[in-house]
């Protein structure tokens, strides 16, 4: 993956109050994750649109105007416990900000989707371009309509404006999410991930029947949440208990 420069350079990064975040804002980029790739920790990139927004496995992420397309650089030791928890800790931050703004029935879908009433409102994509830091890509539908660009998304997506008469500006929403992310991520970095677990596990709507694709073998059973090491906990239909490393799990499908 090559890192890129935006079509129109932002003049300077805006310092976000006392949070320590620096926010670079652009009109249009390929992907905010690629722009953030060369930045230092606690720098973030927001763009009004992305021409090559990405999901996992090189899936396309529709990034039409009116949505929040944000990438935040955070410090992390590769393969540490905190590293394995990063998608969940970031998802927690996004969920809590959206909940406080008034989005109802929020839940996480393993590993990186945020749903409201089973419709996707946000997706996260973690990249690592350099040792010691990760890029947390966060897409949130705010007032945009991705289903207009991709008809397959009809009925499967929702947006902040469906619930909140006057959503915050995209810059303000970026700031709120960055502040929440820093708070949750610092807790994980300090080795206190266990403190976040009840908040993360409350977001799966447990118990939940699932099918887990281990890149070939399929396990069926009850999803029991995650543990403090970031492992997915599953009790299969033969009553066997599994602690699955995140990288073992290609897909977790709800079956209820
Ligand atoms: C994700 O991937 O959900 C991660 C999306 C991350 C997007 C952010 S935006 C800022 C940063 N820069 C990037 O280039 N990416 C990150 P995944 O779980 O693979 O889901 C992708 C699937 O979500 C697609 O195949 C569609 O089905 C669906 N999708 C695409 N655009 C969507 C949208 N705007 N809202 C809801 N669902 C969408």
Q: What is the pLDDT of residues 15-45, one digit of tens each?
A: 998 899 999 999 999 999 999 999 999 999 9
> For ligand 1, what atom is nearest to the CA of residue 59?
25
If you measure from the C-alpha of residue 211 to the centroid of ligand 1, how many angstroms do you get, rounded to a whole number?
22
Q: Is the CB of 139 under 6 A from ligand 1?
A: yes
Per-residue exposure over 219-244, b if at least 16 CB sit within 10 Å of its own CB, e if not: bebbbbbbbeebbbbbeeeeeeebeb
If you measure from the C-alpha of residue 18 to the centroid of ligand 1, how many angstroms do you get, rounded to a whole number?
30
Q: Coil, strand or helix: which one is 51?
A: coil
> For ligand 1, what atom is nearest to the CA of residue 63?
34
If you measure from the C-alpha of residue 241 to the centroid of ligand 1, how many angstroms do you get, rounded to a whole number?
32
In tens digits, the chain (256 residues) has pLDDT values of 566 666 556 667 899 988 999 999 999 999 999 999 999 999 999 999 999 999 998 899 999 999 999 999 999 988 788 888 999 999 999 999 999 999 999 999 988 899 999 999 999 999 999 999 999 999 999 999 999 999 999 999 999 999 999 999 999 999 999 999 999 999 999 988 889 999 999 999 888 999 999 998 999 999 999 998 889 999 999 999 999 998 899 889 989 7
Overall pTM > 0.85: yes
Nearest CA to ligand 1 atom 17: 55
Please give the order of strands across the beta sheet that includes 251-254. Answer: 241-244, 232-236, 218-226, 208-213, 251-254
If you measure from the C-alpha of residue 60 to the centroid of ligand 1, how many angstroms do you get, rounded to a whole number?
6
Task: Give yes or no for a contact between 149 and 185, defined as CB atoms under 8 angstroms apart.
Answer: no
If one residue of 65, 103, 121, 139 were mutated to test the ligand 1 pocket, choosing by the most ligand atoms within 8 A of its CB, it would be 139
Q: Is the CB of 62 under 6 A from ligand 1?
A: yes
Q: Is the CB of 31 under 6 A from ligand 1?
A: yes
How many Å apart are CA 40 and CA 37, to the nearest integer? 9
Q: Is the CB of 90 under 6 A from ligand 1?
A: no
């Amino acid at each position: 993956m090559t890192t890129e420069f935006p079509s129109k350079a932002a003049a300077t990064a805006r310092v976000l109050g006392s949070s320590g975040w620096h926010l670079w804002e652009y009109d249009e980029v390929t992907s905010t994750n690629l722009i953030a790739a060369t930045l230092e920790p606690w720098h973030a990139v927001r763009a009004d649109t992305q021409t090559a927004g990405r999901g996992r496995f090189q899936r396309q992420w529709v990034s039409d105007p009116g949505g929040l397309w944000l990438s935040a650089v955070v410090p992390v030791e590769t393969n540490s416990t905190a590293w394995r928890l990063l998608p969940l800790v970031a998802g927690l931050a996004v969920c809590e900000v959206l909940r406080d703004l008034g989005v109802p029935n929020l839940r996480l879908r393993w590993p990186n989707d945020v749903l409201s009433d089973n419709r996707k409102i946000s997706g996260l994509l973690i990249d690592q371009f350099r040792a010691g830091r990760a890029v947390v890509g966060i897409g949130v539908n705010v007032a945009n309509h991705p289903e207009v660009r991709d008809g397959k998304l009809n009925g499967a997506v929702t947006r902040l404006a469906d619930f909140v008469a006057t959503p915050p500006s995209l810059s303000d929403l970026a700031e709120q999410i960055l502040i929440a992310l820093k708070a949750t991520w610092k807790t994980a970095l300090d080795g206190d991930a266990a403190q976040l677990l009840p908040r993360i596990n409350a977001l799966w709507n447990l118990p939940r029947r699932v099918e887990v694709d281990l890149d070939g073998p399929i396990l069926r059973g009850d999803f029991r949440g995650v543990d403090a090491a970031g492992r997915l906990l599953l009790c299969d239909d033969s009553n066997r208990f599994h602690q699955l490393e995140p990288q073992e799990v290609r897909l977790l499908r709800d079956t209820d």
